[in-house]
């Protein structure tokens, strides 16, 4: 190379700004944990600890065996963790996608924090507790019944353990906020969307020690840049980005689940260092519920049809791999479903990502199931869960409804009139109002729902039907008593008495054991033929009335419930799929009606 060419290259290289990257590292730490069930003993003798991988639960055999009851108590997990030397200047977090139901985390014997509630993520900044090199993490998990922690009851098992993924995150000192209820630190909404144009708003917070800038880029599915914007955060680290006039957005819907990508990059003011980056999906869609005409998506009438789902699989309890979570969403999609009621609690991030990607609309629900207590602790925990749920799931375009209670007046105890019961009703009403207001504060766009069941007049009297934007009714006429025709009578009554309240059938279903058949099916016989008759008769009515915005089958799959001693093994048999995901006849009834394979007229 001649001297002059070399000089030219040097001059050219010096003109390119040097950018160094110090982005966050997210490592799975699911493998090789030590576990034992029972209170802690300072005991390292052989056989005391067993080696497990996460996701893990300790209740699988308990729930399925013939002994009534299952272990609700303490379990301990421990793991050694090596921190690389290069992480000296990093902020290090432990991130749990979920542990059931109270998790207390210790690092090298010092307490990092505690989290209450089985179904939401939490993270602890453990930087100051770490040694360079070897460290020990211990997690005490307790799934004992606690009157302050929902759910207090329900037709499902509260499996104990670290049953969702765990990560170690190393971030630069300057990073998108991770302390905000384990959210991604950015909140993306679409204040206006039409076929012609769309706008995007991004609110967020960064933890920073110096002057920084945020660059927001929106990419389409093919990776083409659609919009770029630069922002300086305020002194407290908060920032808002407005992106206007995105022309002719490709609209997201179940038929076309088109996802854009929003990349937020945090860097120093001179653009020399990239500190952090967060990537989120973005879907452009608009929707509304009309009490008379039902649901509208992207300007067109659209019937919501889908199922609910528990995080439960044969032989695994709640400790499912991401692949099994995703498979369930695929089963629903293949059936022609367009909706998942994520109930009775928020579920794994893999479920929500699959719903965005495959085009399944969702209602996500806090576990306020069956009953409440009036204690301050309970109210506090319910509201906290609602806040965590909204912040952690805010950026999923599939979410259109936040739901916050299920069958809270089911207990016969709450039906009669005594001063105590009046007090219960009053507390319930107050709590529902608080939850509704919290949803409005956290999220201006989405709808809200409570799922009711049982005594219409009692719910009306307590004033609960007035509170959420949508009324959900769990209806089992022709299964838990009554006859199929009572379903139609009930929905007409609701519509007449609450003509301004949009209605979703939040549950419908009948038990069927996939081994049982009959030429002359009758109520409660658990044959597949009876369940088929039930579903066919409901489908006709759902189709007949536009004011029924949607209907959600209980349940996509059968699930374990220890207290269902009448079914062997102890499961709820209302699934369209068995616990190991074999489709029953009723799955094909829906597939025929919704995916029209083969075409059946209903
Ligand atoms: C309901 C409940 C659900 C039960 C279901 C049933 O209404 O909301 O948790 O599993 O009925 O099968 O009885």
Distance CA 521, CA 379 (A): 45
Q: Is 453 in the pocket of ligand 1 (CB under 6 A)?
A: yes
Q: If we measure between CA atoms, which residue out of 95, 89, 142 comes closest to residue 120? A: 95
Residue with tokens 């944990």: 33
Q: Is 155 in the pocket of ligand 1 (CB under 6 A)?
A: yes
pLDDT-above-70 percentage for the chain: 94
Q: Is 507 in the pocket of ligand 1 (CB under 6 A)?
A: yes
**Atom of ligand 1 at shortest range from CA of 511:** 12
Which DSSP symbol is given to 414? G
The Å distance, Cα 539 to ligand 1 centre, comes to 19
**Atom of ligand 1 at shortest range from CA of 343:** 9
The Å distance, Cα 408 to ligand 1 centre, comes to 12
Domain membership flag for residue 409: no
Q: Calculate the alpha carbon distances from 444 to 347, 394, 526 in Å.
A: 22, 11, 44
DSSP code string of 181-216: TT--SEEEEEEEE-SSEEEEEEEEEEE-SS-EEEEE
Mention every residue, 6+ apart, whose C-beta is less than 8 A from residue 340: 306, 307, 308, 309, 329, 332, 351, 355, 360, 361, 362, 363, 398, 556
Domain membership flag for residue 141: yes
CB 231 within 8 A of CB 176: no
Q: What are the tens digits of pLDDT across the range 44-54?
A: 666 789 999 99
**Atom of ligand 1 at shortest range from CA of 509:** 12
**Atom of ligand 1 at shortest range from CA of 480:** 13
Query: 158, 345, 451, 474: which to mutate for ligand 1, most atoms within 8 A of CB?
Result: 474
Q: Check residue 12 and give its pLDDT.
A: 54
**Atom of ligand 1 at shortest range from CA of 453:** 7
Query: 153, 155, 370: which to mutate for ligand 1, most atoms within 8 A of CB?
Result: 155
Q: Check residue 68 and give its pLDDT.
A: 84
The Å distance, Cα 155 to ligand 1 centre, comes to 6
- Nearest residue (CA) to ligand 1, atom 9: 155
Q: Is 407 in the pocket of ligand 1 (CB under 6 A)?
A: yes
Distance CA 401, CA 340 (A): 11
Residue 442 falls in the annotated catalytic set: no
- Nearest residue (CA) to ligand 1, atom 3: 155
Q: What are the tens digits of pLDDT across the range 276-335?
A: 999 999 999 999 999 999 999 999 999 999 999 999 999 999 999 999 999 999 999 999
Average pLDDT score over residue span 6-17: 55
Domain membership flag for residue 65: yes
Distance CA 476, CA 600 (A): 24
Q: Is 313 in the pocket of ligand 1 (CB under 6 A)?
A: no
Q: If we measure between CA atoms, which residue out of 286, 288, 300 comes closest to residue 469? A: 288
Instruction: Count structural domains, the chain.
Output: 1
pLDDT higher at 39 or 581: 581
Domain membership flag for residue 413: no
- Nearest residue (CA) to ligand 1, atom 6: 155
The Å distance, Cα 387 to ligand 1 centre, comes to 25
Beta-bridged to residue 265, according to DSSP, are 215, 277
Q: What are the tens digits of pLDDT across the range 84-106?
A: 888 889 999 999 999 999 999 99
Average pLDDT score over residue span 345-369: 98
The Å distance, Cα 186 to ligand 1 centre, comes to 35
Domain membership flag for residue 130: yes
The Å distance, Cα 360 to ligand 1 centre, comes to 22
Q: Is 572 in the pocket of ligand 1 (CB under 6 A)?
A: yes
Beta-bridged to residue 225, according to DSSP, are 219
- CATH number assigned to the domain comprising residue 145: 2.60.120.260
Separation of CA 528 from chain center: 30
ipTM of the complex: 0.99
Q: Look up residue 585 and give its two tokens.
A: 């006849």
Q: Check residue 602 and give its pLDDT.
A: 47
Q: Is 560 in the pocket of ligand 1 (CB under 6 A)?
A: no
Q: Is 154 in the pocket of ligand 1 (CB under 6 A)?
A: yes
- Nearest residue (CA) to ligand 1, atom 10: 155
Average pLDDT score over residue span 191-212: 95
Domain membership flag for residue 197: no
The Å distance, Cα 328 to ligand 1 centre, comes to 19
Distance CA 475, CA 472 (A): 9
Q: Look up residue 472 and give its two tokens.
A: 């959900």
CB 413 within 8 A of CB 378: no
Residue 480 pLDDT > 80: yes
The Å distance, Cα 296 to ligand 1 centre, comes to 28
φ/ψ of 532, rounded to 5, equals -60, -45
The Å distance, Cα 453 to ligand 1 centre, comes to 9
**Atom of ligand 1 at shortest range from CA of 474:** 7
**Active-site position among 97, 365, 407, 507:** 407
Q: Calculate the alpha carbon distances from 587 to 327, 569, 570, 599 in Å.
A: 15, 21, 21, 14
Beta-bridged to residue 262, according to DSSP, are 218, 280
Query: 307, 480, 554: which to mutate for ligand 1, most atoms within 8 A of CB?
Result: 554
Largest Cα separation within the chain, whole Å, is 99
End-to-end CA distance of the chain: 79
Structural domain range at position 50: 25-173
- Nearest residue (CA) to ligand 1, atom 13: 155
Q: Check residue 156 and give its pLDDT.
A: 95
Q: What are the tens digits of pLDDT across the range 223-249?
A: 999 999 999 999 999 999 999 999 999
Average pLDDT score over residue span 267-281: 94
Find the length of the chain: 602
Domain membership flag for residue 334: no
Residue 11 pLDDT > 60: no
Q: What are the tens digits of pLDDT across the range 513-565?
A: 999 999 999 999 999 999 999 999 999 999 999 999 999 999 999 999 988 87
Residue 125 pLDDT > 90: yes
Distance CA 223, CA 241 (A): 21
Distance CA 475, CA 564 (A): 20
Distance CA 254, CA 249 (A): 16
The Å distance, Cα 176 to ligand 1 centre, comes to 40
Domain membership flag for residue 217: no
Residue 209 pLDDT > 90: no
Q: What are the tens digits of pLDDT across the range 399-457?
A: 999 999 999 987 666 666 677 888 899 999 999 999 999 999 999 999 999 999 988 99
DSSP code string of 356-422: HHHT-EEEEE---BS-----HHHHHHHHHHHHHHHHHHTT-TTEEEEEEEE-TT-SGGGTS--HHHH
Q: Is 280 in the pocket of ligand 1 (CB under 6 A)?
A: no
Q: Check residue 210 and give its pLDDT.
A: 86
């Amino acid at each position: 190379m001649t001297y002059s060419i070399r000089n030219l290259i040097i001059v050219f290289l010096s003109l390119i700004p040097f950018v160094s990257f110090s982005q966050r590292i997210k490592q799975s730490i699911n493998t090789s944990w030590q576990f034992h069930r029972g209170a802690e003993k300072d005991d390292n003798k052989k056989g005391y600890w067993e080696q497990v991988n996460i996701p893990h639960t300790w209740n699988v055999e308990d729930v399925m065996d013939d002994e009534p009851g299952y272990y609700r108590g303490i379990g301990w997990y421990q793991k050694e963790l090596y921190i690389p030397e290069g992480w000296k200047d990093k902020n290090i977090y432990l991130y749990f996608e979920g542990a059931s139901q109270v998790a207390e985390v210790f690092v090298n014997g010092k307490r990092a924090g505690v989290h209450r509630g089985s179904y939401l993520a939490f993270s602890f900044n453990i930087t100051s507790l770490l040694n360079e090199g070897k460290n020990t993490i211990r997690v005490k998990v307790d799934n004992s019944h606690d009157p302050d922690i929902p759910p207090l009851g329900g037709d499902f098992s509260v499996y104990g353990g670290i049953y969702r993924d765990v990560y170690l995150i190393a971030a630069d000192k300057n990073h998108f906020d991770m302390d905000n209820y384990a959210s991604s630190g950015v909140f993306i909404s679409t204040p206006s969307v039409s076929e012609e144009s769309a706008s995007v708003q991004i609110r967020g917070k960064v933890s920073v020690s110096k002057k920084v800038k945020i660059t927001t880029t929106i990419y389409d599915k093919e990776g083409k840049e659609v919009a770029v914007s630069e922002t300086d955060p305020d002194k407290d680290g908060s920032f808002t980005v407005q992106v206007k006039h995105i022309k002719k957005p490709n609209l997201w819907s179940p038929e076309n689940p088109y996802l854009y990508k929003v990349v937020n990059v945090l860097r120093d003011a001179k653009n020399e260092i990239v500190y952090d980056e967060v990537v989120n999906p973005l879907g452009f869609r608009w929707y509304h519920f009309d009490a008379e005409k039902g649901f509208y998506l992207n300007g067109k009438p659209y019937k919501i049809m889908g199922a609910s789902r528990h995080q439960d699989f044969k032989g695994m309890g709640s400790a499912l791999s991401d692949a099994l979570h995703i498979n369930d969403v695929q089963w629903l999609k293949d059936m022609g479903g367009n909706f998942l009621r994520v109930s009775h609690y928020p579920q794994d991030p893999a479920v929500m990502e699959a719903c965005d990607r495959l085009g399944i609309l969702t209602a996500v629900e806090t576990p306020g199931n069956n009953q409440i207590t009036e204690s301050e602790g309970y109210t506090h925990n319910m509201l906290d869960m609602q806040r965590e749920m909204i912040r952690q799931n805010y950026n999923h375009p599939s979410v259109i409804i936040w739901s916050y209670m299920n069958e809270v007046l089911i207990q016969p105890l709450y039906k009669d009139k005594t001063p105590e019961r009046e007090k219960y009703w009053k507390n319930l009403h107050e709590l529902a109002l608080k939850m509704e207001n919290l949803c409005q504060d956290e999220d201006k766009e989405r709808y809200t729902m409570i799922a009711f069941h049982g005594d219409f007049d009692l719910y009306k009297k307590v004033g609960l039907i007035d509170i959420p934007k949508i009324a959900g009714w769990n209806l089992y006429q022709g299964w838990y008593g009554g006859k199929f025709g009572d379903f139609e009578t009930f929905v007409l009554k609701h519509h007449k008495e609450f003509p301004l309240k949009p209605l979703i059938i939040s549950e419908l279903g009948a038990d069927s054991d996939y081994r049982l058949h009959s030429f002359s099916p009758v109520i409660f016989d658990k044959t597949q033929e009876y369940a088929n008759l039930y579903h066919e008769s409901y489908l006709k009515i759902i189709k007949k009335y536009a004011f029924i915005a949607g209907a959600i089958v209980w349940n996509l799959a059968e699930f374990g419930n220890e207290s269902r001693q009448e079914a062997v093994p102890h499961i709820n048999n209302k699934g369209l799929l068995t616990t190991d995901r074999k489709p029953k006849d009723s799955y094909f009834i829906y597939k025929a009606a919704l995916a029209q394979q083969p075409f059946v007229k209903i």
